[in-house]
Structure 1
């Protein structure tokens, strides 16, 4: 049990570090091949925010633990809104730049509807995975089109330049660490679930989902401290779109999965509820997410965590 817990902690630390270096190496290689900074920013850097979730889902699916992969995708979306956005707003009110995030929120709504459509029958199939991949491709193409209208924001996110040899070395080492740390984390998480008699779904919704969302939480809090709390909303929306389309498709494409009833009865409605709350925040007349509302989001997230704990104990 102690060894499993240490594996989870070490796995998270290495996963976060290697995801960052993977993005740096891939961006530099793409740059050396003449790929535009705009395309790098939309694809490689955007992928980097969900790289931990994607690799966890891949390893979990290959290890015949698709429930962990599904729980990670759904739980990360819930944590991003309830925990990350809530904590950031609780620290300092977040201004809502409605004209900048309106289209992104609608894209998130479309991704959520697609996810509900493929999950509603209680299983994930190859066809479901293909539909999610098509949705992801549509999102990337749309993001590229959007970025052409305001390329400056994308270019600011690109890592520093590095030599071609160093870039390939960084990419290779980071990829190996990503795979190894994901396997370490999945092993630790499944071992904890077995030892405590908790389902892999709940472990994915809690420990794994919160842990893989820590980079976004740290980035959002840092942005809030620099007086740029408005960045948190855009980061959460983008991360949730990637999780819904690029992460959820992995178990469907790799092995398929039959979902536990709790996913449809409890977790998916909660994810939809938090997404609808974000829609309300963006489209209402008020141009500020207040600190009190941030506390409400965190409280709702904690209530959901308590619900999961009680359900596991029962």
Structure 2
């Protein structure tokens, strides 16, 4: 099969499988009588990071470390500049969460931690363990803080699917993610070789976009319907999970070699765009990411991708 077909097939499988994994995970949590609060912070967050995790694991075992790291760095850049930028142009996004500054600060800690850990161009297993410990502490704090702020949200909804259908959907989703990640990495590597483009560039642009497609599609549809539940907190949370969960798990299983160009260039873009996010959501807790701010974010993403390929 031609590389471009592997790439497209991987995109499609990751898109649907990521969505199915989140839906089946939520249904399973309801069967287990877990509150919607805990589902939102843990199950859904892990589910939406599953495509990045599978792709990064597959890439590092295939000897394509640039795709593994580039996938996460590119996704973090795309989540803010592309997803939030496009969504804000369609429908301005309001800052709802009062403690958004703290979530942003945690994202910066994760980002700077990745930069420091990658300074010697290698993410070691013990550094992956540190990432996972910080992730665990963050989840415990998030669950505790959310329960403290909204005690009446502990309602447990009834599952809409039977346990058998839930497990079947979960298994199909997991299989889809596995093969989707496999095909995406195979296609990306072959396309990079045929076009004479580095794996770093393909990982940051094409692969990262592929793993961010579910979030982008969901957020855009919600914006078109003028549903105001698109949370900047979800974007920040996704970026935290990408670093601490995806790279944490991957580095524990197999240390990751880091491209020097990525450390010297792409990491700083990720850092700068995180700072820009803080500026566009000012004033905190009452800010609005208006259409002109969204246009600036999208323009920054287009400029970054343009500079990648020249």
Q: What's the TM-score, normalizing by structure 1?
A: 0.90
Q: 1:308 corresponds to which residue?
A: 308
1:155 & 1:64 partners in 2: Cα distance?
Answer: 46
Q: Cα deviation per residue 1:77-111 (whole Å; 9 max; x = unaligned)?
A: 00111111111122233223361523221221222
Q: 2:211 corresponds to which residue?
A: 212
Alpha-carbon offset, residue 25 of structure 1? 2.5
Structure 1 contact 21–174 (Cα < 8 Å) conserved: yes
Q: 1:74 corresponds to which residue?
A: 73
Q: Is residue 295 of structure 2 the alignment partner of residue 295 of structure 1?
A: yes
Report the number of matched residues. 308
Q: 1:111 corresponds to which residue?
A: 110
What are the ranges of 5 or more consecutive residues in structure 2 without an aligned counterpart? none
Alpha-carbon offset, residue 302 of structure 1? 0.7
Q: 1:233 corresponds to which residue?
A: 232
Q: Matches of residues 73-112 of structure 1 in structure 2 within 5 Å?
A: 73-97=72-96, 99-112=98-111
Q: 1:272 corresponds to which residue?
A: 271
Alpha-carbon offset, residue 151 of structure 1? 6.6
Q: Cα deviation per residue 1:220-242 (whole Å; 9 max; x = unaligned)?
A: 22222232356142221121111
- How well do the aligned residues superpose, as a CA RMSD in angstroms? 2.3
1:154 & 1:77 partners in 2: Cα distance?
Answer: 31
Q: 2:29 corresponds to which residue?
A: 30
Q: 1:16 corresponds to which residue?
A: 15
Structure 1 residues 150 and 110, CA gap change in structure 2 (3 angstroms): farther
2:135 & 2:145 partners in 1: Cα distance?
Answer: 15
Q: 1:132 corresponds to which residue?
A: 131
1:309 & 1:152 partners in 2: Cα distance?
Answer: 51
1:222 & 1:159 partners in 2: Cα distance?
Answer: 26
Q: 1:166 corresponds to which residue?
A: 165
Alpha-carbon offset, residue 120 of structure 1? 2.1
Alpha-carbon offset, residue 249 of structure 1? 1.9
Secondary structure of 1:144's counterpart equals helix
1:46 & 1:98 partners in 2: Cα distance?
Answer: 17
1:159 & 1:269 partners in 2: Cα distance?
Answer: 45
2:297 & 2:26 partners in 1: Cα distance?
Answer: 35
Structure 1 residues 219 and 109, CA gap change in structure 2 (3 angstroms): same
Structure 1 residues 11 and 138, CA gap change in structure 2 (3 angstroms): same
Q: What's the TM-score, normalizing by structure 2?
A: 0.91
2:134 & 2:230 partners in 1: Cα distance?
Answer: 25
Q: Cα deviation per residue 1:148-204 (whole Å; 9 max; x = unaligned)?
A: 133777979x89532122222222222112111110111111111121222211111
2:221 & 2:247 partners in 1: Cα distance?
Answer: 28
What are the ranges of 5 or more consecutive residues in structure 1 without an aligned counterpart? none
Alpha-carbon offset, residue 250 of structure 1? 3.6
1:98 & 1:178 partners in 2: Cα distance?
Answer: 31
Structure 2 contact 31–159 (Cα < 8 Å) conserved: no
Q: 1:122 corresponds to which residue?
A: 121
Q: Cα deviation per residue 1:40-85 (whole Å; 9 max; x = unaligned)?
A: 3321111112111111111112222121010000000001111111
Alpha-carbon offset, residue 34 of structure 1? 3.7
